[in-house]
Structure 1
């Protein structure tokens, strides 16, 4: 797009901007921004000329709050971009620790 909308937020020092979903809690928002930061260079490569790349996350739902891990927001946004938009190159290293009943990210 020509210019990012006013509600778009920065991703570190990247020219890529993003719009978080409505109602997202601050911890999830921070992790989602972190995940987008990991692929910001790849997203910036999609920019044509002086235009802007804006990622708009339309929805974020946590189905089971007792099992919720905020860092999953980073993994989810990266996987969504990989699966639906071909943004590759980030190995988020996800493994499930059965003893702790948690996902671990490297």
Structure 2
């Protein structure tokens, strides 16, 4: 597309823009944007030279909040793009941290989170 919608958010200065679903929690939105940032270079390539590529997430439903972790939003958006649009993989590792009683995610072998390198 030539110009993304005014409500779209840009991913890390790339040509990738996205529209999060209505009512998404702020932490989920940050993690989803983080996941898109991990594959933004690949999405830029898929744009075919267009000025902007828009990723629109129509719905985000978390059916069971027990033990839910926001990092799942990043993993879900990456998995969706892999399965439906041929975006190459990001190795998502998951281990359980008993001391913190949380799952620990790694992205291509590196622990990271939104806003931190």
Task: Tell me the TM-score normalised to structure 1 length.
Answer: 0.88
The SS at the match of 1:23 is coil
The SS at the match of 2:15 is strand
**1:51-101, Cα deviation, whole Å (9 max, x unpaired):** 310100010011111221001000000000001111013112134x39576
CA distance in 1, matches of 2:64, 2:50: 42
Shift in Å, 1:20: 0.3
The SS at the match of 1:68 is coil
Shift in Å, 1:104: 2.5
- How many residues were matched structurally? 105
Contact 2:11-2:17 at 8 Å conserved across structures? yes
CA distance in 1, matches of 2:65, 2:8: 27
Alignment RMSD: 1.7
CA distance in 1, matches of 2:12, 2:49: 20
The SS at the match of 2:84 is helix
Task: Tell me the TM-score normalised to structure 2 length.
Answer: 0.81
2:80 — aligned with what?
A: 80
- Give the 5 Å matches for 1:27-106: 27-95=27-95, 97=96, 102-106=102-106
Which ranges of 4 or more aligned residues in structure 1 deviate by more than 6 Å? none
Shift in Å, 1:2: 2.3
